[in-house]
């Protein structure tokens, strides 16, 4: 058995939830290792349709231990709310374990996130206002609250005092708000600690033991390579690393543990939030692709915002697969393109100075880049019932083969619909 990381190769929204859901059936552990409730994974199964923001995507399998690792921004309210929703909709009690080293998203983080987006106005970065950037600011300023702190009242109060000291200066002098007293948060956090208590454990030791014993571990990434703060479209990035290289750190495994990196790639492009997006469509073309895309249109699982859409981008995807260290690819949403006579693909960028490049540029050069498009023959039919690669029309097979050749990573799965069974192994 192996340790596999499932990650996105683009801007997020590639279909990682479905792939994690499918591979969870053969896994002993599914681990969230970074990010928080700022992005969602949509899963459709016999229980219905679910958008998970905090819980790992293996919660529908009673044999799977679902782990929130130390690298996660833990929103306790979202955690409790999603678990309650699962139970109310008939899903058996999932096996859940929360790292005692994970850190907590505080109400002040969400407030500061919202106030800063309001202050920036048109210059905002498209935050989901879930408190993620302020959370990670605290984490790396050594002001964060760990899960274990929730069980020591005096230590917790001291940590809150240290955390709020500078924030209250901002609240009063930058945002014109009343300061927050540490005692006002203490009772709420102690209550959250009691809600979490049944699930808290030393996940690092647990996963190390599982790894040594050869049990299968699935590491579930959030967002995609192009939202990574070091290698993505900074500053239009998230606040934690979205790369498979961070997965063993955020999960608590040795760096050599990962044997497979599955990069999930969409058959066209989609994006929630702001930032450069070279192959983006607008007008009627965008409306049509957005309406037909996803499982019920292209809208964000967390925000509900209409996703920006565009044609498949070879430049961005090849780069995303490269920095993810992808060993294989799952190509999703191929069925969506069945309405097109010809399918445009972005194969290069024309930069502002007229330079043509097939390499993904830094943000300073990509803002005004234009796509160089290549046309591919469409198949003009419904492929959602295909269950083998040979059942796909020749034009669809050729499109898959072209993408595989262009991104230099073998495609192991092709998804032709949102449900578990609509997946073709190659």
- The tokens for 160 are 């809150």
In the set 41, 53, 109, 231, the catalytic residue is: 41
- The tokens for 376 are 């591919």
261 vs 326: CA distance, rounded Å: 5
Spell out the alpha helix ranges (H) of 216-313: 247-251, 283-292
Torsion on CA atoms 81, 85, 87, 91, rounded to nearest 10: -130
Residue 353 annotated among the catalytic residues of the structure: no
360 vs 349: CA distance, rounded Å: 8
Q: How many helices (H) and strands (E) does the chain have?
A: 12, 20
67 vs 319: CA distance, rounded Å: 29
- The tokens for 120 are 């920036």
109 vs 387: CA distance, rounded Å: 46
24 vs 259: CA distance, rounded Å: 16
Q: Is the dihedral of CA 17, 21, 22, 28 positive or negative?
A: positive
Distances (CA, A) of 300 to 43, 328, 338: 13, 26, 22
- Angle among Cα 151, 155, 160 to the nearest 5 degrees reads 105
Do the Cβ atoms of 227 and 11 come closer than 8 Å?
Answer: yes
155 vs 151: CA distance, rounded Å: 9
Residue 100 annotated among the catalytic residues of the structure: no
Evaluate the omega torsion of the peptide bond into residue 248 and state whether it is cis, within 30 degrees of 0. no
Neighbours of 142 (CB within 10 A): 8
- The tokens for 405 are 């050749």
211: enclosing H helix or E strand: helix 203-212
Three-state secondary-structure class, residue 54: coil
195 vs 188: CA distance, rounded Å: 11
Q: Is 283 exposed, middle or buried (0-12, 13-18, 19+ CB in 10 A)?
A: exposed
Residues annotated catalytic, as ranges: 13, 41
């Amino acid at each position: 058995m192996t340790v596999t990381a499932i990650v996105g190769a683009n801007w997020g929204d590639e279909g990682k939830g479905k792939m994690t859901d499918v591979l969870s059936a053969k896994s002993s552990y599914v681990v969230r290792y970074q990010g928080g409730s700022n992005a969602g994974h949509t899963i459709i199964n016999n229980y219905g349709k679910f958008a998970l923001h905090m819980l790992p995507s293996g919660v529908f399998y009673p044999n799977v231990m679902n782990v929130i690792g130390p690298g996660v921004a833990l929103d306790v309210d979202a955690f409790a709310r999603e678990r309650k929703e699962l139970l109310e909709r008939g899903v058996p009690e999932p096996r859940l374990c929360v790292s005692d080293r994970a850190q907590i998203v505080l109400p002040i983080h969400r407030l500061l996130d919202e106030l800063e987006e309001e202050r920036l106005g048109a210059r905002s970065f498209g935050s989901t206002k879930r408190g993620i950037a302020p959370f990670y600011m605290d984490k790396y300023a050594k002001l964060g609250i760990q899960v274990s702190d929730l069980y020591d009242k005096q230590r917790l109060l001291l940590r809150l005092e240290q955390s709020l000291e500078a924030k209250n200066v901002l609240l009063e002098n930058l945002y014109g708000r009343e300061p927050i007293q540490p005692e006002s948060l203490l009772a709420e956090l102690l209550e959250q600690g009691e809600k979490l208590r049944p699930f808290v454990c030393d996940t690092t030791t647990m996963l190390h033991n599982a790894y040594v014993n050869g049990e299968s571990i699935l590491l579930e990434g959030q967002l995609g390579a192009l939202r990574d703060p070091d290698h993505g479209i900074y500053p239009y990035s998230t606040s934690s690393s979205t790369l498979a290289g961070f997965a063993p750190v955020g999960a608590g495994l040795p760096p050599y543990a990962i044997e497979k990196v599955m990069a999930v790639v969409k058959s066209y492009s989609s994006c929630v939030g702001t930032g450069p997006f070279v192959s983006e469509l607008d007008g009627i073309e965008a409306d049509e692709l957005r309406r037909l895309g996803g499982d019920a249109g292209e809208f964000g699982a967390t925000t509900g915002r209409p996703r920006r859409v565009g044609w498949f981008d070879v430049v961005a995807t090849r780069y995303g697969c490269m920095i993810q260290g992808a060993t294989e690819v799952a190509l999703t949403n191929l069925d969506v393109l069945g309405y097109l006579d010809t399918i445009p693909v972005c194969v290069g960028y024309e930069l502002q100075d007229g330079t043509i490049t097939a390499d993904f540029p830094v943000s300073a050069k990509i803002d005004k880049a234009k796509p160089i498009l290549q046309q591919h023959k469409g198949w003009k039919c419904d492929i959602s019932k295909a269950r083998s690669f040979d059942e796909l029309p020749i034009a669809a097979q050729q499109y898959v083969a072209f993408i595989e050749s262009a991104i230099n990573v073998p495609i192991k799965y092709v998804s032709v619909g949102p449900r578990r069974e609509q997946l073709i192994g190659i």
